[in-house]
Amino acid sequence: MSQQQVEPHMFVIIGATGDLTRRKLLPALYHLRDQGILETRNTLIVGAALPEMGEEGFRLWAFEGLQKAGWHNNTELRAWCDECLHYQTVHEGAVQDYEALAGYIRRLERTHNMPENRVFYLALPPDTVPIAIQRLDQAGLLKSRGWVRVVFEKPFGHDFHSAQHLNTTLHHYIDESQIYRIDHYLGKETVQNLLAFRFANPIFESLWNRDRIENVQITVAEDLGVEHRGAYYQQAGALRDMVQNHLTQLMTVVAMEVPVSFDAGAIQSEKLKVLHSIAPITHEDAVFGQYSSWQIAGQTIPGYREEPGVPKDSDTETYVALKAEIQNWRWKGVPFYLRTGKRFPRKLTQVAVIFREAPTQVFRSLDPGSIASNKLLITLQPSEGFSLCFSVKSPGRPFRLSDHALQFDYQKSLGQLPEAYETLLRDVMIGDQTLFVSAEFTETAWRLYTPLLTGDRTVYPYTAGTWGPREADALVERYGHQWQLGW
């Protein structure tokens, strides 16, 4: 949120030759440079990874990746790669490999007359993170005369105890103020604008409570299957992969109280209060599903158990729907429904706020099905924006009502939006933790969902290309509601 300028620093990517670096990090860094946020002489990017590719090989690899990402100003692009990108092999990650990396970084800092400000982005498999932090400490890279910040990707643990242990390990080497746990959903403009939407517009904030809102639904639907991530997904499942982080973050942004100020500590504190207010979620209020094969136009879409790396008898869930109850003054009695899944009919990330019906219905003589509740739909994907849905009279006779919406589309109104990683990387560089996840938030979220990972549970099949198992519809119908999809 801050307008602070980016200080000169070294941006070090550990695990730099992976897909994340090529698809997300390098394009975001180059775009920040294109916007004038990063100056070439002030930011050096060092890749560190296993392959023996050398600096020229890494620069060429990055150049080709940026071209695929859509940049075609080849002369300028190649110049940036040559001036800003550096590379050091770390082999198997032994102590001496990190000591060599430390020597390389210090030589670059002396050569370019840079302060010892360093960002270490750990683009690594989760099980290698603790040893990487230990190696960085042993090489003396976590101590400097400037500042040091370390960035972590999800998953951050796989249950409450593993997350707690990981936090304890990290805090042995670095302070919480140096830790940046990325949830890229928080970098999306619509999520940030939800804060402005609520707290800068009293007309909506005055309606944001149990007296006016009947239920809230958060949907993260993916149209693809697990693809090449079968082995990872088999260990994770939808609850770990999506609900514990992305959907829970969205829920806390929707439900939080007005913070005392617009800074990281105040916002994180209010989000944490929401988590602490959630009643235990039981298996009765959670539905798990797994997509099965689908025949369309003579083509077979494989089921989860037919995906590479997935056992034929797997009971890992690719779908979760659950009901959460926030037991505080604002939200008591308002169910929050969360659902996510793979192989849905289309890609959609949406928050639906369903308002209560009028206490008396003037138009009771009309078909009850023609009178819909007011809805606020906040869409994050595929197109970011807001829709406020309401009823109006259709022209002519007989008297009929129809649903319409006031819509705001970000891209149509304000042009191209920054990618989430651009926002988050800039915030790391200026030291703003507002959009990042704290240790206590991570552990509290895991404490909430870990009971659903154990015990007897049924994983219901659903056909790929549908919106999930019928049992998930029954979950919301049990409380008199229906899933919302658009207006």
Q: Tell me the C-alpha to C-alpha distance, in Å, between residue 362 and each of 138, 218, 358, 374, 451.
A: 73, 31, 9, 16, 46
Tokens 């439900």 map to which residue? 255
Task: Report the C-alpha gap between 168 and 161 in whole angstroms.
Answer: 11
Burial of 465 (0-12, 13-18, 19+ CB in 10 A): middle
Q: Which residues contact 277 (CB under 8 A, 6 or more apart)?
A: 326, 327, 328, 331
| Alpha-carbon dihedral sign for residues 297, 302, 304, 307 | negative
Straight-line distance from the first to the last Cα atom of the chain, in angstroms, rounded to the nearest whole number: 32
Look up 404 and say whether it is catalytic: no
Identify the active-site residue in 9, 31, 246, 481.
246
CB 119 within 8 A of CB 12: yes
Residue 4 phi, psi (nearest 5): -60, 145
Task: Report the C-alpha gap between 167 and 169 in whole angstroms.
Answer: 5
Structure-token pair, residue 258: 């007005």
Cα dihedral 284, 240, 310, 350 in deg (nearest 10): 80
Structure-token pair, residue 16: 């730099």
Catalytic residue positions, numbered: 246
